[in-house]
Amino acid sequence: MNRPIHNIPFAQLAVGMEAEQTRTLVADDLYVFANSSGNVNPMHLPREDGDGDGVEEAIAPGMWIASLISAVLGCDLPGPGTLYRSQTLQFRGQAHAGDTLTVRVRLTAKGDDRLVTFATSVTTSDGRPIVEGEAVVVAPERPLSFDSSEIPGLMLQSHKHFERLLEQAEPLPPMPTAVVAPEEEDSLGGAILAAQHTLIDPILIGDAAKIEGAAKTAGLDISGYRIIDIASHAAAAEHAVKLVHEGEAAALMKGHLHTDVFLGAVVRRETGLRIGRRLSHVFVMDVPGLDHLLFVSDAAINIAPDLQTKADIIQNAIYLAHSLGIPEPKVGVLSAVETVNPAIPSTLDAAILSKMAERGQILGGLVDGPLAMDNAVNLGAAQTKGIRSLVAGHAEILVVPNMEAGNMLAKELSYLAHARSAGIVMGAKCPIILTSRADDEQSRLASCAVAALNAARSGAA
């Protein structure tokens, strides 16, 4: 609400006084109420079929609707200092996520001991009645005001951006994916989970006995999947690359082997999957409270990238953002400060990269730097520093000075800001899926969805 609120003391109340508020019910309201009340009845939760009829309900709980009446009484009429004595409720209809509700109270009687009676109602925007009733409250005795901006805010740990990616990838045909050395439970389980969600059609390449043993331990049925028995990890990675060249695989997925061995086959000059740019890793992150996806690069491959490598890192991230529906991504090239300082080499690189983008040497995005983390993602911080830029405060891609900074940034977002991350390597002939043993199921699925969308929409540019 974030506004000063004032009351009307009992002595100033008169029969016939009215007040109303309008509120649009959003999905997050239902999640907040479920968490605060403990009522996790699936009838009230978005994307759940609570009664098994094949239809998602998302019906507002009756007591959530009743709380809207309490909000009018406690904030507007009589206002701060009001306490309930009783409330009757007659439910005339149901409200669903997306409905706009109007809550009205009308004073009908004043009694002893500051007791006041109100007729109460909740209707939809088209006048359909939801709740009718009567409230009896104790009105405040003296004038009071309250600044509601002092109330701490709430942030839901929801990951709506990843959910949207999964929805977009769902209609695509399963992407043939060469999974290299899925020889333990996590790597095999991630591939099979993605297959069950029709994101990939896995080709399991590695030691067949170990793959089958991992499947048995994890309770997975892999009888319907192709297994290519190659004991050597290096040979398995080379065979996976060969399948891409032959058109049998459209993506690679790392299993239980060293990244150097896995990517060594990809970057081999004669037989690999190079396309002229350096390979780079991109974290695609769904940060709760952020209204867009956030890309962080490079946090896994290029340890101390030089200027040209950073240009490739930016170009790879821009092309990935294009394939995920961002037509002109805003790229913030990060450093410790937002001004060019010859003593800080990353500020020089950032300034040059910005100019390279202006001159068409980096295509498809808006690039600006150097930017510090605060003014890259927060408009208020950028304005305080006097930075005028289309990127500052709105960056969707964060390009870090080196792998150490990128790794720390990505993990801070994951473990402190409760972000979920998808990992993909760009700059090769096909998308390359890199998942971590620490990834949860949604992150594993999101990595496969990102790869599938990239392959389908961009030819893995």
Q: How far apart are CA 430 and CA 423, in angstroms?
A: 14
Q: Which fold has domain 276-427?
A: Isopropylmalate Dehydrogenase (3.40.718)
% of the chain exceeding 90 in pLDDT = 79
Whole-angstrom Cα distance, residue 61 to residue 85? 22
The predicted model gives 196-220 an average pLDDT of 95
Task: Report the pLDDT value the prediction gives residue 106, as an integer from 0 to 100.
Answer: 97
Q: Per-residue confidence at 212, pLDDT binned at 50, 70, 90?
A: very high
Q: Rounded to the nearest 5°, which phi and psi values hold at 446?
A: -65, -40
The yes-or-no verdict on residue 433 having pLDDT over 70 is: yes
Same fold, 4-150 and 276-427: no
Q: Which CATH number fits domain 4-150: 3.10.129.10, 3.40.50.300, 1.10.3720.10, 3.30.470.20?
A: 3.10.129.10
Residue 391 to residue 368: CA distance in whole angstroms: 6
Contact by Cβ (8 Å): 434, 424: yes
pTM: 0.77
E-strand stretches of 36-163:
83-91, 100-110, 115-124, 129-138, 145-147
pLDDT number for residue 442: 81
The three-state secondary structure class of 289 is coil
How many CA atoms lie less than 13 Å away from 165 in the CB half-sphere?
34
Confidence bin at 284 (pLDDT 50/70/90): very high
Residue type, 174: P
Residue 414 pLDDT grade (very low, low, confident, very high; cuts 50, 70, 90): very high
Contact (Cβ atoms closer than 8 angstroms) between residue 290 and residue 156: no
Task: Please say whether the beta carbons of 357 and 367 come within 8 A.
Answer: yes
In this structure, how many other beta carbons lie within 10 angstroms of the beta carbon of residue 51?
11
Strands (E), 240-304: 251-254, 280-286, 294-297
Residue given tokens 């709740």 in the structure block: 131
Six-digit token string for 288: 């709760």
**149 pLDDT above the threshold of 90:** no
Q: Is 355 helix (H, G, I), strand (E, B) or coil?
A: helix
Instruction: Give residue-wise pLDDT tens across range 12-43.
Output: 999 999 999 999 998 888 888 998 899 998 88
**Band of the pLDDT at 461, cuts 50, 70, 90?**
very low
The tokens describing 35, both together, are 């968490």
More confident of the two residues 461 and 200: 200
- The pLDDT value recorded for residue 218 is 92
Of the listed ranges 116-120, 157-161, 349-353, the least confidently predicted one is 157-161
**Who contacts 152 (Cβ-Cβ below 8 Å, separation ≥6)?**
none
* Number of neighbours of residue 253 by Cβ within 10 angstroms: 31
Residue 158 confidence (pLDDT): 67
Please give the mean pLDDT across all residues of the chain. Answer: 92
- When pLDDT is cut at 50, 70 and 90, the band that residue 452 belongs to is very high
Q: Which helix (H) or strand (E) holds 235?
A: helix 233-245
Quick check: 67 pLDDT over 70? yes
Structure tokens at 299: 């946090």
- Rounded CA separation 349/188 (Å): 41
**Beta carbons of 115 and 150 less than 8 angstroms apart:** no
Predicted pLDDT at 157: 61
Q: How far apart are CA 109 and CA 156, in angstroms?
A: 41
Query: Could you tell me which residues are beta bridge partners of residue 253?
Result: 179, 433
Helix (H, G, I), strand (E, B) or coil at 334: strand
Cβ atoms of 368 and 332 closer than 8 Å: yes
Domain extents in the chain: 4-150, 276-427
- Residue 294 predicted with pLDDT over 60: yes
- pLDDT surpassing 90 at residue 11: yes
Task: Give CA–CA dist 197/186, Å, rounded.
Answer: 17
**Rounded mean pLDDT of 314-322?**
97
pLDDT, one tens digit per residue, over 226-281 is 999 999 999 999 999 999 999 999 999 999 999 999 999 999 988 999 998 999 99
Taking CA atoms, 171 is separated from 167, 306, 403, in Å, by: 8, 40, 35
The residue-averaged pLDDT of 402-415 equals 95
Per-residue confidence band for 458, with pLDDT thresholds at 50, 70 and 90: confident
Can you tell me the distance from the alpha carbon of 449 to that of 461, in angstroms, rounded to the nearest whole number? 16
Q: Among 49-53, 60-64, 425-429, 456-460, whose mean pLDDT is lowest?
A: 456-460
- pLDDT tens for 373-389 read 999 999 999 999 999 89
